[in-house]
Amino acid sequence: EAGVTQSPTHLIKTRGQQATLRCSPISGHTSVYWYQQALGLGLQFLLWYDEGEERNRGNFPPRFSGRQFPNYSSELNVNALELEDSALYLCASSSGQGNQPQHFGDGTRLSIL
């Protein structure tokens, strides 16, 4: 069974640009989660999508947005990039039912120059 896959592995952008990160969940999983792991800030919840709808959002500005497609894959878009957006962005998926673990991809390393 294929795990959660994320692309690209690395992404280099400059301030003010826009970044798009992609995630494919484990087959059969309907929920996709996005987390940011920035140096010194730990793992922070960004967004949760389930059945194509945004279900919950962390404490991030509106320039962080995303969507979930009918095949349950997801995109995270970050507009007007700032230096502090440099981080490892992790995607996870789960079956969406309570008490089920989230399974993570290897992440996209976003570097802002």
Min separation Cβ 16 and other proteins, Å: 26
Min separation Cβ 37 and other proteins, Å: 9
- Site for other proteins, rule CB under 8 A: 4, 6, 31, 33, 35, 42-43, 45, 48, 55-56, 58-59, 88, 90, 92, 94, 96-107, 109
Comparison of 16 and 26: residue with beta carbon closer to other proteins: 26
CA angle 68–53–103, rounded 5-degree value: 60
Min separation Cβ 77 and other proteins, Å: 19
Any residues with CB less than 8 A from the CB of 42 and at least 6 apart, and which?
Answer: none
From 104, 95, 63, select the one nearest 82 (Cα to Cα): 63
Is the link from the previous residue into 8 a cis peptide, with omega within 30 of 0?
yes
